[in-house]
A and B are shown apart, each in its own frame.
Chain A
Amino acid sequence: MAQDDLYRTVVLERAKTPRHAGKLDIASLHAQGVNPLCGDRVNLHAQVDTHGRIGQVRHETRGCAICAASADLMAERVMGQDTAQVKRIHAALATAVETGEAPDGLGELSVFAPLHRHRSRIRCAMLPWSALIDMLNDDKDR
């Protein structure tokens, strides 16, 4: 069977056995991301300190492998980051999925670069990130 760089081991593993799934006992922020086109849904729970720095993130994802793996890798990657840093990583990921070229420093998230050949699936990977950024923006506005 022809498959694709997209479904690399890390994507399949994270989708199958996520390391950051679930809830947090003491989450300060919550957010939900929904893709109305396919019904995929990500619930995020995060600890964010008064300086806007993320402690932990947990996710509950009902979606495809790309969405689930993205949520799990995101939860890992944003630990200890502040809003500005999260937005930089998000922008780098957006560039990667648009162009197929992973910017320096994208690290493990570069597994999603092959999405540039599957444009209808880009939003699957970006859904958890949009939800996270909405959550951080809402927190700042408060």
Chain B
Amino acid sequence: MMDQMVTGKTDAGNSLRHVRADFPILSQKVHGKDLVFLDSAASAQKPRQVIDSMADTMRTQYANIHRGLYWMSERTTEAYEAVRDQVAAFLGAGAREEIVFTRNSTEAINLVAHSYGSLLRPGQVVLVSEMEHHANLVPWQMLRERMGIELRVTPVTDDGALDMDALGRNLSDGRVALVAITHMSNVLGTITDARAISDMAHAAGAKVLFDGSQLAVHRRVNVRELDADFYVVTGHKLYGPTGIGVLWARREILEEMPPFLGGGDMIASVSFERSTWAHVPHKFEAGTPAIIETIGLGAALSYIESIGFDRIGAHEDALTAHALKVLGQVSGLKVVGTAPQRGGVISFTMADVHPHDIATLLDRNGIAVRAGHHCAEPLMRRLGLSATARASFGIYTTPEEIDMLAATLEQIRGFFV
């Protein structure tokens, strides 16, 4: 079976083979085997360009930002603020002031839930989907407890697409203040039709937030073309470091929103009687930020731009098609989520073999996948599953790695029969 799969391979997904040399970790061995890293949807590996930029910052040009009156601080401030321009361009933002740095997308959504959420009134509705990551569900549940809002859920269809008819019905009473929906599911790989969702939300008088944690890695995002109001991404999935994420929001909305965290850097003036707030985006960036990580994110975005989303998209589409084909040939394997618009995140079950056993046995062969509920327990319940195994792809993934996954799964299956 293994031979059949390996010889069946094509050139699909080979176009970015050269980028592997940029990722030092890919030459590591795990349990004496070559590392096959198929968990990029959880967190991507880092190219040397990112690693070097962060190390160089600490070696040669580091000081706290925004307040130092000396050369080192001024240069570091410039490097940090240059990343804000880069992110604005990366997301197609209207202005650099619309880019707020956060710790990750979870924190970005919590910022919106606390700050924008405080402007909502009891009885108004936040509308999410059934396939949200806990990060785009739990903050709204907490807001419901604080503010007496209603949390409404739009279902997914059996193939894992967003049920657009149900979305329309959920919007029809005019009480929805905010639609908060993933742009790409971390479990099903489904890509949602963000522009259509925006249009429907706006027609119903609602604002719209997209969780772009997964999508922004694979496709070019233009928040203005999407007509979004809020968009969140996280650096560590974008081949950048942990500890840095981004909230983009329309400037007029950010200006209307109260601060999230208080402290240094987010104020205009402070006295014991009262303080006034800095202009956006600094109003939302209290305390010393993740300076080194932000500079690392800048290096990651430069790296991605140097490859270009045309090539990244073509590479990942080819890999995904190849993976769906070869995984579909593994006995007993069932892909979970077959929406027509999808990216390189593939969840599956394999007969009676528990996903954790699959993950452990793959790991013994050097293959890293995720197994579990993927921080999306309500979706798992909807699908009638307690867990799935998940393989996800990055720019460095090759078709041979997918063939190896399929062949090893076939052997694991044989082991359990």
- What residues of chain A have their CB less than 8 Å away from a CB belonging to chain B? 1-4, 6-7, 12, 16, 37-41, 62-66, 118, 121, 124
Contacts and interface: CB of A to CB of B under 8 A. Distances in A.
A136 B411 CA distance: 41
Contacts of A62: 386
Nearest to A118: B360
B314 interface: no
A95 B355 CA distance: 26
Contact of A39 (B364, B386, B411, B412): B386
The 9 nearest A-B residue pairs measured at CB: A64-B354, A39-B386, A1-B411, A64-B356, A65-B357, A2-B364, A64-B357, A4-B364, A38-B372
A65 B358 CA distance: 10
A12 B373 contact: no
B360 A39 contact: no
Contacts of A1: 361, 365, 408, 411-412, 415
A12 to B, nearest CB: 7
8 contacts: A1-B365, A3-B361, A3-B364, A7-B361, A16-B416, A62-B386, A64-B357, A124-B356
Given A2-B364, A118-B360, A65 B416 contact: yes
Contacts of B357: 7, 64-66
Given A2-B33, A63-B354, A65-B357, A40 B415 contact: no
A11 to B, nearest CB: 10
Interface of B: 31-33, 353-357, 360-361, 363-365, 371-373, 377, 380, 386-387, 408, 411-412, 415-416
A128 to B, nearest CB: 15
A37 B372 contact: yes
Contact of B387 (A4, A7, A39, A66): A39
Given A38-B387, A64-B356, 5 more contacts: A38-B371, A39-B380, A40-B356, A65-B416, A66-B356
A11 B405 CA distance: 24
B416 A12 contact: yes
A4 B356 contact: no
